[in-house]
A and B are shown apart, each in its own frame.
Chain A
Amino acid sequence: MPSRPARCCVRMCGDSDATIDETCAPPDRSSLTLVQSGSYTILIVQGAYGPTGMSQPQTIIDKLWSSHEIVRRHDGESLLWVDRHYVHEGSFHAFAKLDQRGAKVAEPGLTFGVADHYVPTRGSRYDIANSEIARMVRQVESNTKKHDIRLFGLDDPRQGIVHVVGPEQGLSLPGLLIVCGDSHTSTHGALGAYAFGIGASEVAHVLMTQTIWQKKPQRMRITVTGKTAPGISAKDIVLSIISQIGADGATGCAVEFAGSAIRALSMEGRLTLCNMSIEAGARCGLIAPDAAAFAYVKGRPYAPAGAEFDRAVEVWSKLASDENAEFDREVSLDGGQIAPIVTWGISPQDALPIDASAPDPAREPNTERAKYLRDALDYMGIAPGKRLTDIAVDRVFIGSCTNARIEDLRAAAAVLAGRTSKVPGLVSAGSSLVKRQAEQEGLDRIFRDAGLEWGESGCSMCVGINGDLVAPGERCASTTNRNFRGRQGPGARTHLMSPAMVAAAAVAGHLADVRKLLGSRTV
């Protein structure tokens, strides 16, 4: 039962007449009694609203926190129970720590492995040419096998990027606490889970104990009001947010995304949004689970089924933040004002609407900021003040845990259908199942006919460690999440944008406003 305070539940009308304010009355009117006392009318609230239930209204973060708290130390750190732990090739440091201690994995049944960061997207997947890369893939196979952990490996039709596979398999659910040795674990918060990335020492700790020490994060709510315009995606929303609050705008915070523009997003869009909350420094991103989330989860392989699912929905329905819950920080944006957005610099916060021009350091009064702008523009090879739509691209990449779900591929394909790409490019689906579905829908043909390469699923050119690199100095329009120096390869220049905008850049050969290419098409 949601605990809501009796705050402003009584409206005083003269000295005898009181009405219950409908906007904040608890749902169960039978728990309320009005008593007359002198000239005051007193509202007596029972049950969850009564003396024992007069607890503070809670945010979704508070609720998830308390349902996972095993112990709270006097110094303020809590030991939390972990419901799902995902490991990948990069988790080898943690397995080495286990071996050093001769320790076992505490809960192999709650631990799942994937091969994603190093897997090839072209050529043979099994006979990997580069021996170092092959070793990384073999290593996650042997580590998971040794510890009896289920692996979605190269030979598994469910293989894919960990943050796509988790939700897709119904492993990531509302109400869970999910960790993975990867910062984009924030993705899974889209379902209403408390999900965050951890480092190798913590991975080892979770493997050994299925718990993690955490200090309760600050609670922040980012509300996006109104309705976004046609052609505007979750990527545009999140890049707008980051450009406004900065790459450290949410540091130390658990961020709940709320508001009508967020509610209107599909689950794919919500996953994109929460995925990039880490790019504003957030500990995690969260969206209150609703009917869309429950429908998404239902019927997935590892999700609860039948009566168990119904029981779960009952619990999940109560996760949303209580009406008067307080947040430590609040930010609000008008969704109607959001335009298609691209990054021009070397941090996701360096984002501007597509019809803008690159900044000009000469016009920047703050010298530190001017120096930053000069460095960023210099690395990116962009003249100060250049119109963004005049920036020619050398290649495109559609992929990554941010934007390679089926809806993303559909959006890109809708723009590319019947057109050709002026530049080479690679499309790598977020999972092998997404890839298969896209092929069933004929999307692969559209990409191929446009001249793009249709690869296998993996992290691929998002981080380049499987060998899919952007060459030094080359400029890539990319659906990924980080435009850091050298992220897609040493010297590579990355512009982040939505899948539809990447498709538009491919068609135009330069950064372009997808809205001008849409006509009757919808993305």
Chain B
Amino acid sequence: MEKFTTLTGPACPINQSNVNTDQILPARYLKWTRGMGLGKVLFHDLRFRAAEDENPDFPLNKPAWRDAKILVAARNFGCGSSREAAVYALCDYGIRCVIAPSFGDIFAGNAVQNGLLTAAVTDDEAAEIIVLLTQMPTLHVRVDLEHQDIVCGDRTYRFTVDPVRRARLLNGWDDIDLTESYRAQIAAFRVKDREERAWATPAAGG
């Protein structure tokens, strides 16, 4: 996994709460493999009115935000379906950080697996950043994971991120390698558990 330390770039405001993963990636694209370029269909039904007819009102279609690296949204971003492909679509588009007051639980877990930072600020701060960006669309925002702050124009905001996730992003750790180092403990647990909770093994008859 790619490490995350700092990131500077255009930041696109999505002034909506409860942006769900069905919006981020509509279900009909869930058949696509990663290699097919899910970034093309990120936010598809909000970005496009018909097949190739862009919706000029959707922020990502505005010239200043087309190459956004950061999204700023209202609370509960990424709620709903567990589809990790929503995160793939964001990453493939070039987004590496989402700033919002809160995130869907599963989404935030999927994000860290793919090197996408979910930076939590307060409701008021998110609203303020959205206003700043709307007034100055070309403003580049700097996100520093080490110091946990966001610089937006002459304003600096602290953000929170789960410390475990922060460490993983900073180090680019891979979960599976980490788990492999606990192989002995897992094996021991399994043996003991099979004995203590024999009922937990599915009945063979099925």
Contacts and interface: CB of A to CB of B under 8 A. Distances in A.
A301 B204 CA distance: 9
A485 B23 contact: yes
Given A136-B31, A247-B79, A465-B28, A199 B23 contact: no
Nearest to A465: B27
A368 B84 CA distance: 29
B98 interface: no
A304 B202 CA distance: 7
Interface residues on A, range: 35 or more
Contacts of A484: 20, 22-23, 80
Nearest to A347: B18
A92 B87 CA distance: 16
B18 A482 contact: no
Given A301-B206, A465-B30, A484-B20, A281 B79 contact: yes
Contacts, number: 177
A96 interface: yes
B39 interface: no
A248 B102 contact: yes
B2 interface: no
Interface of B: 16-18, 20, 22-23, 26-28, 30-31, 33-34, 45, 74-76, 79-85, 87, 102-106, 109-110, 113-114, 127, 162-164, 167, 175-176, 178-180, 182, 185-186, 189-190, 193, 197-203, 205-206
9 contacts: A76-B163, A81-B190, A109-B202, A150-B206, A201-B113, A281-B79, A304-B199, A312-B199, A347-B18
A487 B104 contact: no
Interface of A: 67, 70-71, 75-77, 79, 81, 83-84, 90, 92-93, 96, 101, 109-110, 118, 132-133, 135-136, 150, 169-171, 173, 175-176, 181-183, 197-202, 204-205, 208-211, 213, 215, 247-248, 251-252, 278, 281, 283, 301-305, 308-309, 311-312, 315, 347, 349, 368, 372, 463-465, 482, 484-487, 490
A252 B79 CA distance: 12
Given A215-B162, A247-B79, A248-B18, A70 B199 contact: no
Contact of A199 (B45, B80, B87): B87
A281 B45 contact: no
Given A182-B82, A281-B105, A301 B203 contact: yes
